[in-house]
Structure formats: structure tokens, C-alpha cells
A and B are shown apart, each in its own frame.
Chain A
Amino acid sequence: MSIYKRDLMIYVGISIFSIVLALVFPAYITQIAVMFLMVILAQTWDLQGGQMGYNSLGNIMFFGIGMYVSAIIQIAMLYGWGGVGEYTSASGSIKVEIIKSNYLYGMFIGAFAAGIICVLFAFVFGQIFLLFRGPYFAIGTLGMVLAVAELVSSWEWVGAGGGLSLPVYPAEDPTESGRLYFYCFLAISAICFAFISWVVSTRFGLALNAIRDDEAKAEAMGIRTLRYKVSSWMISAFFLGLAGAIFGNMSNFIEPLEVAFPTITFGVFMVVMALLGGKGTVWGPVVGAVIFHIIKETTWTYMLGYQWVALGLLIIVIVIFFNQGIMGSLAERYPHWFGIKIEEDAEEATS
């Protein structure tokens, strides 16, 4: 089918373009890396908020848990589990000499473990929170992330509110670490995109859509709705955990409220990006994340002090003029671009 060939070319084109972009503008490499992080945040949110109709305000929890899990594992790999408390209580005064291969190995193990632990958290929390519907789910998950952030803030062993600093990547030149995280986020967002595109094309995607449209009907048809809902959350949690782990290493310093559980920044951005791009579509969150990130970086640079006003205006514009999002509006106007066939006689027959 030509539409698949076209899609494949789009994927390859975007990947090459972003790598070239990063090589041509090394000064912006961190911003571009964060842009790919935004793509991951929007995509994973959309799997619940868009495809399934469960507007989560707590997905950022997995990001933070992933970050802490990965950080603690990396420290434990250097000092042993007994040494973690000593390291964290020294609040950054212990400076680590680490070689590149050890650093990368630790980061890899930490990130992978973070993904797995987040999947377990999603499995357990999902059994409780995914029984709530509509606004109860939204508020419930918001409470969940705030509670977890508070608990971490008072947990001495992981550095409590003071946070903890991570070993620094032993880069030879200053752009090297930027490139490392850029490739990490590019790879995770590509895998995340491919996986989510595949998963929504299967029966799984249909089931999530059915839950979104009429959950009681889905139950009456015998669909194991909770199993689908929890699985969807586990998929998002895995990629959020990975992303959080890498972002922790990129930041070097982890602190509960602003870095690990940034509910009012990343936690809100992921919703805005998915809405802007078009929720419930595969490409919507990607497009939304890229456009949002560019707008955000521009306003943060040129309108500092008013950046939150600009963000608020953006949300209002989306809600009023783009309530289907960019991809949603395009799909409505140009359905053939998206491979949606509407037979001519079908239109006549309904009228």
C-alpha cells in the first residue's frame, strides 16, 4: 500500500532532518533533546487521554519515579546499597570520578530498571485509579502525583526536599553530553512512536476507543475493560520511566517538586500538547509537542515574565478554535490524506 510507503518515508525523513538539525545547530542541541522528551510526554499521555478518554493529570508521576529509581540504582552501583544514604546526606559534596563506559552502563541499567518499576507502579495504581471515571479519575490522579511528590520530599534516604546530585558525564568537550542525551531522547521517542502506532492499529486500539466512546457498552459486550485500561497505563508508564531516567542524568541534579514531579509544568504541558496536536490521533501529539515546544522556547526567551500569560492564551485558543486539535481538524477536512475512505454512495444514502 502506497500510504505505508509514504509513512515510512516521512519517518526516515524526520529522523534524518532532526539529526542534521542537531549537528548544524549544536548550541540548541539540549533544546532539541527536550523537544523529543515533549513528544514522548504527549504521546504517552494521549494513550489514556486521547485514545481511551481517561484524562490523567498524574502521568508525570511515572516520569519522577523513573528518575529516582534510575538515580538510586546508579548510585548504588557505585557505592553499594548501603552507601546510598551516605551519598545523599552529603548533598553533592561527594564528587565521583567515573569513566565513560561505567557511566553509560549505569545509565542504561538505571533507565531500564526505571521503566520496569514504573510498569509495576502502573499495574498496582491502575487497579485502583482506573476504576474512577471522568473528572474523578482526573482529580484522583492529580492527588496521586502530589502525594507521591510529597512523600519523596520527606524521604531522607533519597535526599528528601534537598534533592540529590548525580555523577557527571565525563565528556571531553562540552557538546558531547548534549549529543548523548539528544540521541537517547531521539531513540526513545522513535521507539515510543513506533510502538504506540502499532498498538493502536491492533485490537487494543479498538478496545481503547470503545472504552472512550461508551465504557458501559464495552462492559456489556464482555470486553475485559480493566485489563485494557491497566495495560494502556503500563505502556505509558514504561516510556515515561525511561524518559524520566534519562532526564535525571541530563539534569545532573534531582529535586522532587521542580525536576522529578513537575506537575504544573511538564504535567500540564503534556495535556496541552496532545490537545493542540489533536488527541486520539497518532501524529497529533507529535505535531502538538513540536509546535508547543517552539512556542514555549520562543515565549520563554522573548517574553520572559509573561510566558505563563502566553501559555494561558495558547490554551484558550486551542479550546475555542482547535477543539479537535491540528491533526483532528485536518482529518476532518482532508480525510483521504489519512487513508480514510468514505464511499460516495454512503454519503448519499444517509441523507
Chain B
Amino acid sequence: MIVLKDVSKAFGGVQANKKVSLEVEEGKITGLIGPNGSGKTTVFNSIVGYHPIDEGSIQFRGQEISEMPVQSIARLGLLRTFQQTRIYSKMNCVENMLISTDNRNVSLWDMFGSRTSEIQDKAEHLLEFVGLYRKRTLKAGDLSFGQQKLLEFAMALMNDPDILLLDEPTAGINPTLINGLIDRLHRANTEFGITLFVIEHNMRVIMNMADQIYCLSNGQMLASGKPEDIQNDKRVIDAYLGGH
């Protein structure tokens, strides 16, 4: 679904990504791991068009997207969440959801559309899905960090994306809630048919969830394969435990 070929990106003198190639398969859950500063988030930013890439190509369903602006890429059905959660802090949870609907086929007049009960129901249903229904009238900025992460996930689902890029979905979430979140990510994948591409530091989470894992180190692709292969890969263990 997403194919990166030899993507490089440097910030000043720092080579954040160096000839990174990877492929995210449709319908699957793909993981992206690597030590801090290994260039994982840079990969995400490059895919969604946050910054131009220096070289290489990024294709989404066969279409080259490396030169497209952020909004256009989002409207292809390719969405991301942020490591530092981003929600609309002064609006309440329901409003956050209502404005997150799909923008793919909106006309000029849809700008002035009123709130339909259909959209309202969908918003409340998804808030229930992530366990925030009881807090729906609170301002999003008043939620805890973990709850904001859940809200951001619900907002992404509201948009009916084809693929969702999640940047550390479990960071900052209470360990007892993590199992619930893994379950929800699985359901988003199987029930809603959303392809997931996940950056995750929590090895237990990613090893249980992903079908395919890529491991970055120092901006370069270190290893890729099934979770069990990655778990036993000596280079991956070295990168995480020592060396760098």
C-alpha cells in the first residue's frame, strides 16, 4: 500500500534517514521500531508530506506522494497521529470528533453543513469504542495525556482512513489500559479494515500485534521480518541494548 524506495532526509548536517526502503502491506499491521533518534518519526513525517525528502520515492497505492502537500495526502485516506498528542484543546470531545470527518468528497456547500444525527451518532459510538463516552462534554484540553491519545485515535477513526500511521500509540497510557488499546487497534484493523503502520517502543505490544516489523538504527534500515525473526536478530538486540 505504501512503498518507500531509498528515501533520504537530512536536517542540516544530521542524516535522519539514509536510503530507507520499506513496504506496508494492505490490510496488515506493520511495525516500525528502533532506538531513540533512529529516524522513525522522520519516516512518518516524510510519508505524510510534512517536509520534502532529499531523494528517493514514496508511493501510496502506486501514486507518487513525496511532493504532495499535507492536506492532499490526508485526503487520499492516509492519516497519522502524533507522538506529542494533538487535539483541539478548547473544543469538547464531541466537537473534536465532529470536525474530524472525512474530507475526501466535500463540496463548497458542505462547509456550512449542519450537525446531522448520523454524524453525531458515529462520533458518540467511536468515543464509546475508545472508552471516552462519559467524558464527551469535557474540553479536550482538560483530559489527561493518555485520554488525549485515545481521543486522537478516535478522531482518526472518525475520518475513515484507509491507512493509519500511529506514532507511539501506547506511550503515556496507563499499563492496565494498554491491553485494551491493543485490542482496539486489532479491531480497527480487522473490523474497520484499516491498515496500520505503527511506531512503538513497547516490545511486548509490537511483537504481539504486528505482522511485519522494520527496525531502524541511525537512520538506516537495520532489519526487517516477522516478529519472531526480529526478536532473535542479533543486530536488533545489539542496537537496542548496546553499541549506539
Contacts and interface: CB of A to CB of B under 8 A. Distances in A.
Nearest to B106: A224
B69 to A, nearest CB: 8
Interface in B87-120: 87-91, 95, 98-100, 102-104, 106, 108, 110-115
Contacts of A209: 88, 90-91, 95, 99
A201 B115 CA distance: 9
B108 to A, nearest CB: 8
11 contacts: A203-B98, A204-B112, A210-B91, A214-B88, A214-B89, A217-B86, A217-B88, A218-B88, A221-B100, A222-B75, A345-B134
Q: Among the interface residues A209, A210, A349, which one has the most CB atoms of the partner chain B within 10 A?
A: A210
Interface string A327-342: 0000000000000111
Given A213-B89, A220-B74, A223-B71, A346 B114 contact: no
Contacts of B104: 222
B205 to A, nearest CB: 23
A213 B90 contact: yes
Q: Which 9 A-B pairs have the closest CB atoms?
A: A222-B74, A213-B88, A222-B103, A217-B86, A206-B99, A222-B75, A203-B113, A202-B112, A210-B99
Contact of B143 (A207, A225, A350): A350
A178 B79 CA distance: 57
A282 B102 CA distance: 27
Interface residues of B, number: 40
A313 interface: no
B137 interface: yes
A341 B74 contact: no
B113 A221 contact: no
A92 B53 CA distance: 63
B138 A346 contact: yes
Contact of A219 (B74, B115, B159): B74
A307 interface: no
Contact of B111 (A204, A212, A219, A346): A204
Interface of A: 199, 201-204, 206-207, 209-210, 212-214, 216-225, 227-228, 231, 280, 340-343, 345-346, 349-350
A203 B101 CA distance: 10
Q: Among the interface residues B80, B103, B143, which one has the most CB atoms of the partner chain A within 10 A?
A: B103
Main secondary structure of the interface of A (DSSP, over half): helix
Nearest to A203: B113
B135 interface: yes
Q: Among the interface residues A199, A201, A217, which one has the most CB atoms of the partner chain B within 10 A?
A: A217
B70 interface: yes
Main secondary structure of the interface of B (DSSP, over half): loop
A219 B71 CA distance: 5
A1 B79 CA distance: 38
Contacts of B103: 221-224
Contacts of A345: 134
A203 B111 contact: yes
A253 B154 CA distance: 58
B48 interface: yes
Contact of B155 (A202, A213, A221, A340): A221
B42 to A, nearest CB: 16
Contacts of A350: 135, 138, 142-144, 147
Given A203-B98, A231-B111, A222 B71 contact: yes
A19 to B, nearest CB: 31
Nearest to B140: A213
B208 to A, nearest CB: 28
Given A219-B70, A222-B74, A228 B135 contact: no
Contacts of B135: 346, 349-350
Contacts of B70: 219-220
A345 B75 CA distance: 37
Interface in B9-23: none
A343 B92 CA distance: 13
Nearest to B141: A213
Given A202-B113, A217-B87, 12 more contacts: A201-B114, A203-B112, A206-B95, A209-B88, A218-B88, A220-B74, A221-B159, A222-B103, A280-B90, A343-B134, A346-B134, A346-B136
Contacts of B114: 201-203
A341 B86 CA distance: 24
Given A216-B86, A220-B80, A350-B142, A341 B137 contact: yes
Contacts of B113: 202-203
Nearest to B161: A222
A345 B136 CA distance: 11
A343 B106 CA distance: 33
A227 B142 CA distance: 30
Contacts of A349: 134-135
Given A203-B112, A210-B91, A213-B91, A223 B99 contact: yes
A168 B196 CA distance: 70
Contacts of B91: 206, 209-210, 213
Q: Among the interface residues B71, B74, B110, which one has the most CB atoms of the partner chain A within 10 A?
A: B71
